[in-house]
Amino acid sequence: MKSYSILHIILFVFSTTVIGQINSQWQSIESGSPSARMNHTMVTIDGLVYLFGGENTSPSEYYNDLWVYEDEASEWSELAPSGDIPTARAWHTATVYNGNMYVFGGATTSGTVMDIWEYNPQTNGWTKKASTSEPSARLYHRATSGENKMWITGGMQDATSQATGELWSYDITTNTWEQHTSCPAPRYGHVAYYFDGSIFITCGRNGNEVLNDRWKYNISTDTWESVPASRLLSKVKFPAFTYNNLILWIAGGTTIDGFGNFEDVPFCWQLNFALNLWVQLTDGPVFSFGAASMLPSSGKSTDSDYRVLLFGGSNNGNVLDDTWIFSSSSGWNLVNIQENNKPVDRQIKVFPTITSDFVTVESDQIIETISIFDLQGNIILNQELNNTRLRLDLSEQSPGTYIIVTHSKNGRWSGTVTLTN
């Protein structure tokens, strides 16, 4: 990635996507893992990561085994659930609600399915859920949970059909389905997540096009809107992804080059929800069709300094049985700023950009208010100004990177400053 040497920082419209570089680390784990597979699912419940299903292509086989990863012991163990168990499958989804895992749909040896299964870790048992007015059978879809519901987005009815933009919710408390307004941009093999009363989707594929646009569904108004382009390093389908209360993490996937050739990639990114910041992370293994889940926060990580468990997938046709742990650091350096994919014309200066105490903000327009956030989205300062210049004393703050946001009659701009000892 190209870097820039700047004497002052140009501030940008607050809704603009930001690209940066983060300090991070990948570690391969030898842990007696599950067999090689792809198109499986992983979720985290009470500090344990549960892996279900998936497939291998050599020989062709679907799985319905259930594994658990214990972070403290750094090891996988196969579980033996009681009672009926789901049909072996791949391309399904799994999400968590109230301490239970919910599996929906996917592909089996008999074709695509539309059943829902609930796994209770406390009883180590599966329960098949009966419901009415459910969506059609599908695969390549994505699921997320929010507002006491499981949300199903996109996918295909089978491997030869067209991508759908359908959005369905399954009310876990009443065991009922409801269809909502479809997304105007159908896709499959994408990313879906819930944040602050909305469902977001990005990446994926529709027809011959691999995507990196981003869409937001407002649950309260039943409406979709396009949000600023995700601007990933490359358009990808079938990446591994996971998220916590602060960030969305994406790794790997398949991209398409200018000649129409598909290639698995090592790219890794995170999106900070509160600040709408995209940050590029250290490249990891080359893979697609893998699965990932957050490792527990207590003791080893937080929302901003977090760790992710990654397993399996495929590297350009070779099915994998690798276990990886990604560890992040909250410190990052801004390397590129744009507004709507164009250079910013108006320059609001912040200087110096590296300081141990004072920083000055200067504009050719009246700044009505100014706010400072840390990288976790916490407000450090919120002050009315009504001036074109302000000198800020940051000497009482801890070393690190801070976001400065200014408000004027023409909009909002923001930039970063690094505080040293």
- Of the residues 313, 333, 353, the one at which a domain ends: 333
Is there a domain that residue 6 lies in? no
Is there a domain that residue 2 lies in? no
Report the Cα 13 to chain-centroid distance in Å: 23
- In whole angstroms, how large is the CA radius of gyration of the chain? 22
Based on the fold, state whether residues 231 and 342 are members of the same structural domain.
no
Taking only the tens place, the pLDDT of each residue in 374-400 is 776 778 888 888 888 888 888 888 888
**Separation of first and last alpha carbons in the chain:** 28
253 token code pair: 């996937």
**pLDDT value, residue 334:** 31
Taking only the tens place, the pLDDT of each residue in 260-302 is 889 999 999 888 787 676 777 888 999 999 999 999 754 444 4
Give the C-alpha separation, 140 to 163, whole Å.
9
Based on the fold, state whether residues 135 and 194 are members of the same structural domain.
yes
Based on the fold, state whether residues 50 and 64 are members of the same structural domain.
yes
**pLDDT value, residue 48:** 96
Is there a domain that residue 117 lies in? yes
**pLDDT value, residue 419:** 83
Give the C-alpha separation, 46 to 302, whole Å.
15
**pLDDT value, residue 297:** 58
The residue behind tokens 């706010």 is 371
Looking at this protein, which amino acid is placed at residue 33?
Answer: S
Give the C-alpha separation, 47 to 368, whole Å.
45
- Of the residues 278, 299, 333, the one at which a domain ends: 333
Asked if 203 and 239 touch (Cβ cutoff 8 Å), the reply is yes
Based on the fold, state whether residues 119 and 250 are members of the same structural domain.
yes
Based on the fold, state whether residues 179 and 239 are members of the same structural domain.
yes
How would you write the pLDDT of the chain (421 residues) with one tens digit per residue?
222 222 223 233 333 333 333 345 899 988 788 999 999 999 999 999 999 999 999 889 999 999 999 999 999 999 999 889 999 999 999 999 999 999 999 999 999 999 999 999 999 999 999 877 889 999 999 999 999 999 999 999 988 889 999 999 999 999 999 999 999 999 999 999 999 899 999 999 999 899 999 999 999 999 999 987 545 557 999 999 999 987 899 999 999 887 888 999 999 988 878 767 677 788 899 999 999 999 975 444 445 568 999 999 999 899 999 999 998 754 333 323 333 334 343 446 777 777 888 888 888 778 888 888 877 677 888 888 888 888 888 888 888 878 787 877 766 676 678 788 7
Q: Please, what's the b/e burial string for 85-119 (b: 16 or more CB within 10 A of its CB; e: otherwise)?
A: bbbbbbbbbbbbbeebbbbbbbbbeeebbbbbbbb
Kind of pairing, strands 354-355 and 411-419? parallel
Based on the fold, state whether residues 133 and 241 are members of the same structural domain.
yes
Phi-psi region of 184 (alpha: psi -120 to 50; beta: other; left: phi over 0): alpha
**pLDDT value, residue 231:** 53
- Of the residues 289, 315, 333, the one at which a domain ends: 333
Based on the fold, state whether residues 114 and 56 are members of the same structural domain.
yes
Q: CB within 8 A of 135, min separation 6: which ones?
A: 114, 152, 166, 168, 177, 179
Based on the fold, state whether residues 263 and 401 are members of the same structural domain.
no
Based on the fold, state whether residues 108 and 251 are members of the same structural domain.
yes
Is there a domain that residue 178 lies in? yes
Give the C-alpha separation, 145 to 136, whole Å.
19
**pLDDT value, residue 361:** 85
CATH number at residue 147: 2.120.10.80
**pLDDT value, residue 230:** 47
CATH number at residue 348: 2.60.40.1930
Structural domain that includes position 74: 19-333
Based on the fold, state whether residues 160 and 292 are members of the same structural domain.
yes
Based on the fold, state whether residues 287 and 346 are members of the same structural domain.
no
Is there a domain that residue 4 lies in? no
Is there a domain that residue 405 lies in? yes
pTM for this one? 0.77
Based on the fold, state whether residues 290 and 388 are members of the same structural domain.
no
Q: Please, what's the b/e burial string for 165-179 (b: 16 or more CB within 10 A of its CB; e: otherwise)?
A: bbbbbbebeeeebee
Phi-psi region of 176 (alpha: psi -120 to 50; beta: other; left: phi over 0): beta
Question: What are phi and psi for residue 372, nearest 5 degrees?
Answer: -125, 130
Is there a domain that residue 3 lies in? no
Is there a domain that residue 394 lies in? yes
CA dihedral 88, 93, 96, 97 (to 10 degrees): -100
Counted domains in the chain: 2
